[in-house]
């Protein structure tokens, strides 16, 4: 695990409220796409490290226009468009590491 990944992992374990990838990007001064890539890896390594006792929890993205919730995302990302109303006004997913 690279050190930035470790730092993001530590930070996400210590926060009280979930953060968006944009928040994380600002804190670590990296690109948002890079954050999503790190989160994908972090999700896997957390499962391995804590044998399922801790997890990277994703509060799913939500359409701000019609309220549609993107529940079945395979990977952490922000969808570009709502499948129901086609709005692009999407509330981004938020992330936190929790005991489960
Ligand atoms: Zn919608």
**Band of the pLDDT at 62, cuts 50, 70, 90?**
very high
Q: How far is the CA of 84 from the centre of ligand 1 (A)?
A: 5
Mean pLDDT of all residues in the chain? 94
Q: How far is the CA of 47 from the centre of ligand 1 (A)?
A: 32
Q: How far is the CA of 36 from the centre of ligand 1 (A)?
A: 22
**Band of the pLDDT at 55, cuts 50, 70, 90?**
very high
DSSP state of 84: T
- Domain with residue 85: its CATH number is 1.10.10
Q: Which domain holds residue 70?
A: 3-99
Number of domains in the chain: 1
Looking from the CA of 8 toward its CB, the CA atoms found within 13 Å total: 32
Q: How far is the CA of 73 from the centre of ligand 1 (A)?
A: 16
pTM, entire model: 0.90
Looking from the CA of 39 toward its CB, the CA atoms found within 13 Å total: 28
Q: How far is the CA of 91 from the centre of ligand 1 (A)?
A: 10
Scored b (16 or more CB within 10 A) or e, 65-83 reads: eeebebeeeeebbbbeebe
């Amino acid at each position: 695990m690279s050190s930035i990944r470790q730092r993001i992992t530590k930070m996400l374990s210590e926060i009280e409220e979930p953060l968006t990838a944009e928040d994380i990007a600002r804190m670590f001064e990296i690109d948002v796409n890079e954050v999503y890539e790190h989160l994908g890896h972090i999700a896997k390594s957390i499962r391995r490290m804590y044998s399922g006792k801790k997890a990277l929890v994703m509060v799913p993205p939500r359409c701000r226009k019609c309220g549609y919730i993107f529940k079945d995302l395979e990977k952490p990302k922000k969808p570009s468009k709502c499948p129901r109303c086609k709005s692009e006004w999407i509330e981004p997913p938020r992330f936190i590491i929790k005991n489960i």
